[in-house]
A = this chain, B = another copy of it.
């Protein structure tokens, strides 16, 4: 899974792949709703998502919550902890998750030995940054409807790149409450925005699963341009 991902964002050679396979990892299962790591922690390992959906969130002391990122299978959500020390937000599981954990020292060693892998990991953290920037744009300048549409577009492309979308359809195991926390809205607004998109026959949403009915139309609604995802999904191009 990790290799598939890194391969997709950087050209690795056979030795790189072997080195990755030789990394000592520990498996860890996390229940839905649980924190994987928590703000203030200083982890000595990183995790790779094998299965499930995870999110980073931040809280304001008075209880307001904001999800700042989602991570899919193949992602290394807490790669930042490798060089950042204490975490500035918490990572939680949206669904039951299976993770592989790798110790920082092993990761640092492989980066030292194989610059190509270091570059791939660095690049992956830069892509995370690019997604953050797009989210900032969305929260600052897009309407609720546009930003909801944009999130669906982003999820489709990312899930597709991870091989988790078929025919413009994918599982999106998020409640509207979680979507609201990601979009900086209230659940009521999210509900109305989604209804809107459904009424226009752009998407069909049922029981945690999304089908994009009119991909071109949905992209038009939110001016979606997948360049920021820096990935090679077919959906990221013409279509």
Q: Show the binding face of A for B, using Cβ within 8 Å.
A: 10, 56, 58, 60-62, 64-66, 68-69, 80, 82-86, 88-89, 111-112, 115, 118-119, 122-123, 125-130, 132-137, 139-142, 181, 183-185, 223, 227-228, 230
Contacts and interface: CB of A to CB of B under 8 A. Distances in A.
Contacts of A56: 133
A133 to B, nearest CB: 4
A86 B130 CA distance: 11
A140 B185 CA distance: 7
Given A80-B126, A83-B122, A137 B66 contact: yes
Contacts of A183: 140
A77 to B, nearest CB: 12
Given A80-B130, A115-B112, A65 B141 contact: yes
Given A141-B65, A184-B140, A230 B85 contact: yes
A181 to B, nearest CB: 8
Given A60-B137, A61-B223, 9 more contacts: A60-B141, A60-B142, A82-B122, A83-B126, A86-B230, A89-B133, A122-B122, A125-B126, A129-B129
B184 A88 contact: no
A66 to B, nearest CB: 4
A118 B3 CA distance: 22
Contacts of A123: 83-84
Nearest to A64: B141
Given A80-B129, A140-B184, A228 B134 contact: no
A99 to B, nearest CB: 20
B84 A130 contact: yes
B142 A139 contact: no
A142 B64 CA distance: 9
A85 to B, nearest CB: 7
Nearest to A128: B129
A66 B130 CA distance: 14
17 contacts: A58-B133, A58-B137, A66-B137, A66-B140, A68-B132, A68-B133, A69-B133, A83-B122, A88-B130, A88-B227, A118-B118, A125-B125, A125-B129, A132-B135, A135-B136, A136-B136, A139-B184
Contacts of A60: 137, 141-142, 223
